[in-house]
Structure 1
């Protein structure tokens, strides 16, 4: 198969970046120069931005749940598999501060990003009852295009352009980057996460995340690796 790579830049949004983001990831803004270098590579067939794009009443917002079980970062609630029509299937949802509300400054991509280089944008988490860390599916693994909470089927977009390899960077390494990369590999694409191109919500979690990625057939690579040079060489 011909080498036809795509770049997915995950959730480089104001609310995920210091100093004023409501869910700021430490060092999140610092990875923009590397991402811009990738965005200007001529090797990528497709360059994708993703955005959390939540309604105000999103299930992940701590403020939408009653006390005392509504402390952001600390509390969890049970959510149902509503898109899969399996209400008896539940999972624990970590609660977050209000972030990336639709059409707010917090949901916008950061100014430091060369956003004019993107070909398409995936907006996710648009259904109040559905959490989406991955740009491919919800947290239960359901494809949620249309009624669910994402504006397009990313796997179909990649297949439509005969993409062979996917490179993933962005925020946050332990949530949306991880789940997007795992979904990419599950969809059949050779998938890489560039280590220097991510930052995590939970400090110290990256080694555990790398293990999960490797177990899910995702390769974690450095920006100076042969795999990275392959797409950074003009």
Structure 2
């Protein structure tokens, strides 16, 4: 493979709790993209990394961990302060309990060909912060180092230049992961056919596409030249 071109594949949160039919936070048709992702795993990416939401039971994103009446899953919001700077805050939607460490819902779905995955990154382990991105919690002043996954350094250690992001969900964790990948200096793509959104409408998927493009993320398809370049690369 060209030493100046080293692409990586990030498979975001392809877990039981995000997939039908029984996921606590199931994304419609989320399971249907497994064959596409498995095909991508056969390509010569220098790093193939799967991420997992991996929450403790007392995680701040769980509606059940907040007092009534402002604890309705999907409908209620909470203001979360940076644990290291109370003046920096994030407004976050509250969710049903999901992807709790040690539970079946936190497992990667069995359809995923895990034998081709080089590394699994567990995120969202700090109960104090919401963490959609596979890189960092959303705070930057300062970064919450306790929540960092070390993903950026893992990619740099492998010499990665380009990052292709797939998985669940387009309008939350895929979006945040892709935007952070750009911020970390990687040329970044989201593969359209290999992700699904919580909200597939213009308010969800459509808005996310615009946000990604504005941040410098390229939206690509399976037949596009970007993946063609990966296919043509020498196997590693």
Q: Which residue of the partner structure matches residue 31 of structure 1?
A: 33
Q: Is the 8 A contact 2:20 2:30 kept in 1?
A: yes
CA drift of 1:203 comes to: 2.7
Superposed displacement of residue 207, structure 1: 1.3
Higher helix share: 2
Q: 1:60, 1:227 → 2: CA distance? A: 36
Mark the runs of 5 or more structure 2 residues left unpaired by the alignment.
none
Out of 9, 15, 33, the residue aligned to residue 13 of structure 1 is 15
Q: 1:231: how far off?
A: 2.0
User: Alpha-carbon deviations, 1:65-121, whole Å to 9, x = none?
Assistant: 111100100010110011xx1112112110000000001100000010001111111
1:149 shift after superposition: 2.9
Is 1:168 equivalent to 2:165 in the alignment? yes
User: Which residue of structure 2 lines up, in the alignment, with residue 71 of structure 1?
Assistant: 72
Structure 1 stretches lacking a partner, 5+ long: none
2:55 equivalent to 1:54: yes
Per the TM alignment, residue 143 of structure 1 is displaced from its structure 2 partner at its CA by 4.7
Aligned to 2:48, what secondary structure does the other structure show? Answer: strand
- Helix, strand or coil at the partner of 1:185: helix
Alignment of 1:1-234 (within 5 A): 2-41=4-43, 43-82=44-83, 85-141=84-140, 143-145=143-145, 148-150=146-148, 152-204=149-201, 205-233=204-232
CA distance in 2, matches of 1:232, 1:112: 23
Which digits, 9 at most, give the CA deviation of each residue in 1:34-91, with x for residues without a partner? 10001111x2000000000000000000011111100100010110011xx1112112
Distance 2:227 2:29 in 1: 21
Shift in Å, 1:230: 2.0
TM-score, structure 2 as length reference: 0.93
